[in-house]
Structure 1
């Protein structure tokens, strides 16, 4: 009886062993998705508002009310919103509101990095915020001359916030926002 079982198991498993020894060649996946964006080319943007800045030539700018702007990136499904407010002795309130807007994202954010910006030559002072994680906005900033002008900017994507998926586009637009902030000048 034991011999029959051994013979049975041997005859049953030997074909599997023989067939499994073949070298099956499997094709490798061609590659992962690579998102390449064109190198940014910047142009000066001016209108009747009390400030000017450089903007990516691939972006589409649309004037809103009270010197606010929407700068859209249709291929990336993102928009930078700029808001202008005059300073009338309310600089502390404007600063608090800008900081509050950024830190409202702390619930979804993994980390918020602050980068101060100081340009005494142009009288432009501000803060750039990089929000890491699945927050609604990945980059925000404010700039002011502390006496007359105050500008805030933030980027929003028209997609569910998933930082890993939008990271290449977020990085590209973050660079554009930093360029905008660093080239901003008061008239």
Structure 2
């Protein structure tokens, strides 16, 4: 038998031996995400003169006046955003006066419903929770499951004059798993906003 053939058979035999000896099965590690350190929950009051509403919002957030709605000016000066720089997120608040400029109450409710349900192609589910507070605020809080662009939304109203809509967005790809801790943290702040909301 030629020398090269014997060498090849020996190498092949050693390779088979080592492969047979390794019985460990590979277990993939779960995907990890960055640990987010959340601030302590403390609130202050948004009480700007001239605004038709007031509420409490977190001390770790900033109020920024919204000057553009899809490239156009908002229909009134009471649209604001609550910016969370440390969490890379924002709650957009749009305010409408019921009955003004074709803002019929039922149309406003239907529009809020449609805007939430635009996310159905990415959503795994949409839960609706009723809002009713002692300050004459009612409405619906929407929880949108899955990789939707906005997973928490609400509308709050007195049904005769005031209509406020809120939607939470993050400046990142909508990945429910990685954003879950931040979404859960800010959901409590959204509920606190709704529960402390008062009309003027």
**Which residues of 2 match residues 21-40 of structure 1 at below 5 A?**
33-40=34-41
Structure with the largest fraction of helix = 1
**1:59: which partner in 2?**
61
Query: Deviation above 4 Å: which 4+ runs of structure 1?
Result: none
Question: In the alignment, which of 99, 108, 116 is matched to residue 122 of structure 2?
Answer: 108
Deviations 1:23-68 (A, max 9, x none): xxxxxxxx97422201210111111211100000000111235201
Cα pair 2:96 2:163 within 8 Å, conserved: yes
Q: How has the CA–CA distance of structure 1 residues 32 and 138 changed in structure 2, closer, same or farther, with 3 Å as cutoff?
A: closer
Q: How has the CA–CA distance of structure 1 residues 148 and 133 changed in structure 2, closer, same or farther, with 3 Å as cutoff?
A: same
**2:28: which partner in 1?**
none
**2:132: which partner in 1?**
118
Question: In the alignment, which of 140, 156, 175 is matched to residue 169 of structure 2?
Answer: 156
Could you tell me the TM-score, scaled by structure 1's length? 0.81
Residue 128 (1) aligns with residue 146 (2): no
**1:46: which partner in 2?**
47
Question: Would you say how many aligned residue pairs link Structure 1 and Structure 2?
Answer: 170
**Which residues of 2 match residues 9-28 of structure 1 at below 5 A?**
none
Question: In the alignment, which of 83, 93, 100 is matched to residue 82 of structure 1?
Answer: 93
Question: In the alignment, which of 192, 197, 200 is matched to residue 179 of structure 1?
Answer: 192
**Cα RMSD (Å) of the superposition?**
2.6
Could you tell me the TM-score, scaled by structure 2's length? 0.76
SS of 2:40's partner is coil
SS of 2:119's partner is helix
Cα deviation for residue 115 of structure 1 reads: 0.7
